[in-house]
Amino acid sequence: MTKEEITAWALANGWQMMDGFPSLTKPTAPRPAIVRLVLKATVASVEIKKPAGKWEKVSGAAYKDIAADAESGMPGGLGLGTISGITLLMRDNKDRMVFAKFAAPKS
């Protein structure tokens, strides 16, 4: 996968751009981000914000080692499916985005 493909997948699956990174937030407090994808020139990394406010890299891979899952489209190689709580957090963020569209007043 490329940087653009990972970004498109993330934005379609509940991630939102915050400070230049596709990010996930707590469902109860939509600011600040607590998980982010750092997409550099040759590698992608998943970072989680520690309670002290410092970002900790929990996984990463070169773009050539990242492939989309055939069923879900989730980027394999980054460990998103194995990091505890990430899939639930992604679902909560995606649900919040979907329901926000329904609640938005029509002009």
Task: State both tokens at 19.
Answer: 């400070």
Three-class DSSP category at 46: strand
Distances (CA, A) of 40 to 31, 78, 83, 88, 107: 23, 14, 21, 26, 39
pLDDT band at residue 105, thresholds of 50, 70 and 90? low
**Tens digit of each residue's pLDDT (9 = 90 or more) over 57-98:** 999 999 999 998 888 788 888 888 888 888 888 888 888 887
Distances (CA, A) of 55 to 36, 52, 76: 9, 9, 22
Number of structural domains the chain divides into: 1
In the prediction, which pLDDT does 67 show? 93
In the prediction, which pLDDT does 104 show? 58
**φ/ψ (deg, to 5) at 38:** -100, 110
**Tens digit of each residue's pLDDT (9 = 90 or more) over 35-67:** 999 999 999 999 999 988 899 999 999 999 999
In the prediction, which pLDDT does 70 show? 85
Stated pTM of the model: 0.82
Containing structural domain, residue 57: 3-103
Convert 3-45 into a string of H (helix), E (strand) and C (coil).
Answer: HHHHHHHHHHCCCEEECCEEEEECCCCCCCEEEEEEECCCEEE
First and final CA of the chain: distance in angstroms?
Answer: 39
In the prediction, which pLDDT does 7 show? 95
